[in-house]
């Protein structure tokens, strides 16, 4: 060989496609990345500004104040909370802590596009289980996909990009069916937007099941996508392993301060989440009144199963000033944001042949 070789698993990684961004100077609503449409609260901006004078110093490596604030907020043991540079990074650390080369990770598909990448980087084997026809996770099929080599099952609830949440009863069945040494990761990036009373309660499940780990983020409901803070909630023994493989000083001090300030302001922020939930209902109802078949959504986005016409829809929507996230050949994910953006999106959807 005459040149440096990449690991085969790395050469085979699918790219992570970010949501479209507006061209500089162009007016557009960005409904392509499931971001929070509201600007940060004044109290959060003040916390970031206060921290700016200390950026010559390393952050608190263990994010002590943030970890304790998260634990108090959720009613869990702080020894089980592991923060990271966004929950995508934390997922990578979870997999690094438990997967050896060739181990299998079962996850739904289509789901969060970071999953195949994270599994590939870990050197594990991806076992993708198709969604049901109505965009739900197929938990019986996922349980049936478990083999002797399975180390992890990833459950995205609500599922990005389709929207439905896993129900409590189906999750119990899956957990009863899989071996106790298989880690079940509940990626709850959108948990604050869930309103379905039948949806699984991740914290209660975590309390009862030592092989469950929760992943949560400040990027969506808390509106801190730009600062990159997420965390895992695990049993302390597992948390110690996840911490051991984490990037040292992985969460900047500004991000730690902003996340602590956001937890302090959580009532104010949850009122914003409620506004998004109401806007989601309006978008879903508007689409359905036009005759669209859209899955239920418990998150801050809705899914249009457009198949081959996904890119065409995204193009038309962009021309109307609304950026959405197409998945070629599959569908379009539309984040719920500004009221005006919903109006424009509904206009595009009305004119688009179904």
Q: How many residues bind ligand PLP (CB under 6 A)?
A: 14
b or e along 128-167 (b: 16 or more beta carbons within 10 Å of the residue's beta carbon)? bbebeeebbbbbeebbebbeeebbbbbbbbbbbbbbbbbb
Nearest residue to 186 (alpha-carbon basis) of 220, 217, 162, 161: 217
| Residue closer to ligand PLP, measured from CB, 205 or 229 | 229
Per-residue CA distances from 220 to 33, 36, 120 (Å): 10, 6, 25
**Nearest distance in Å: CB 83, ligand PLP:** 11
Question: How many angstroms separate the CA atoms of 277 and 212, rounded?
Answer: 27
Q: Is 160 in the site for ligand PLP (CB under 6 A)?
A: yes
Environment class of 113 (CB within 10 Å of its CB; exposed 0-12, middle 13-18, buried 19+): middle
Q: Coil, strand or helix: which one is 111?
A: coil
Q: Which residue has the tokens 């206060």?
A: 50
**Nearest distance in Å: CB 259, ligand PLP:** 11
Among 230, 241, 326, 331, binds ligand PLP (CB under 6 A): 230
| Residue closer to ligand PLP, measured from CB, 48 or 225 | 225
Among 36, 219, 253, 335, binds ligand PLP (CB under 6 A): 219
Q: Is 225 in the site for ligand PLP (CB under 6 A)?
A: yes
Q: Is 86 in the site for ligand PLP (CB under 6 A)?
A: yes
Residues 168-197: x where in contact with ligand PLP by CB under 6 A, - otherwise, as a string: -------------------x-x--------
Q: What DSSP assignment string belongs to 260-295? A: HHHHHTHHHHHHHHHHHHHHHHHHHHHHHHTT----
| Residue closer to ligand PLP, measured from CB, 217 or 253 | 217
**Nearest distance in Å: CB 336, ligand PLP:** 14
Q: Is 108 in the site for ligand PLP (CB under 6 A)?
A: no
Residues 232-271: x where in contact with ligand PLP by CB under 6 A, - otherwise, as a string: ----------------------------------------
Q: Is 118 in the site for ligand PLP (CB under 6 A)?
A: no
| Residue closer to ligand PLP, measured from CB, 16 or 58 | 16
Question: How many angstroms separate the CA atoms of 179 and 147, rounded?
Answer: 10
Distance from first CA to last CA of the chain, Å, rounded? 53
Select the span of 2-10, 83-91, 248-256, 305-313 touching ligand PLP (CB under 6 A).
Answer: 83-91
Select the span of 123-131, 193-201, 218-226, 251-259 touching ligand PLP (CB under 6 A).
Answer: 218-226
In sequence order, what E strands does the chain have? Answer: 29-30, 81-84, 104-109, 125-130, 150-156, 183-187, 212-217, 230-233, 301-304, 322-323, 325-327, 331-335
**Nearest distance in Å: CB 88, ligand PLP:** 4
Q: Coil, strand or helix: which one is 159?
A: coil
Q: Which residues bind ligand PLP (CB under 6 A)?
A: 34, 86-88, 112, 156, 160, 187, 189, 217, 219-220, 225, 230
């Amino acid at each position: 060989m005459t040149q440096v070789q990449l690991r085969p698993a790395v050469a085979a990684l699918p790219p992570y496609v970010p949501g479209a961004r507006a061209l500089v100077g162009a007016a557009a609503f960005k409904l392509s990345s499931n971001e929070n449409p509201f600007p940060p609260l004044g109290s959060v901006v003040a916390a970031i500004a206060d921290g700016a004078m200390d950026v010559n110093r390393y952050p608190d490596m263990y994010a002590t104040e943030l970890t304790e604030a998260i634990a108090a907020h959720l009613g869990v043991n702080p020894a089980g909370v592991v923060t990271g540079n966004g929950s995508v990074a934390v997922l990578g650390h979870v997999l690094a802590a438990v997967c050896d080369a060739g181990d299998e990770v079962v996850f739904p598909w289509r789901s969060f596009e970071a999953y195949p990448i994270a599994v590939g980087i870990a050197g594990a084997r991806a076992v993708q289980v198709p969604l049901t026809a109505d965009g739900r996770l197929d938990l019986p099929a996922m349980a049936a996909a478990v083999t002797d080599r399975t180390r992890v099952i990833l459950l995205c609830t609500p599922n990005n990009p389709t929207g439905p949440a896993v129900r409590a009863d189906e999750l119990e069945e899956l957990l009863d069916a899989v071996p106790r040494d298989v880690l079940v990761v509940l990626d709850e990036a959108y948990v604050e937007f869930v309103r379905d009373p039948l949806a699984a309660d991740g914290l209660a499940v975590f309390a009862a099941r030592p092989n469950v780990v929760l992943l949560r983020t400040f990027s969506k409901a808390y509106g801190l996508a730009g600062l990159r803070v997420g965390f895992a909630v695990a049993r302390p023994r597992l948390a110690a392993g996840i911490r051991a493989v984490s990037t040292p000083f992985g969460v900047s001090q500004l991000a730690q301060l902003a996340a602590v300030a956001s937890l302090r302001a959580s009532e104010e922020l949850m009122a914003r989440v409620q506004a998004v939930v109401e806007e989601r209902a309006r978008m879903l109802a508007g689409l359905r009144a036009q005759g669209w078949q859209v899955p239920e959504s418990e998150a801050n986005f809705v899914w249009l199963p457009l198949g081959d016409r996904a890119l065409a829809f995204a193009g038309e929507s962009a021309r109307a000033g609304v950026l959405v996230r197409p998945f070629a050949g599959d569908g379009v994910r539309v984040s719920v944001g500004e009221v005006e953006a919903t109006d424009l999106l509904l206009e595009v959807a009305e004119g688009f042949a179904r």
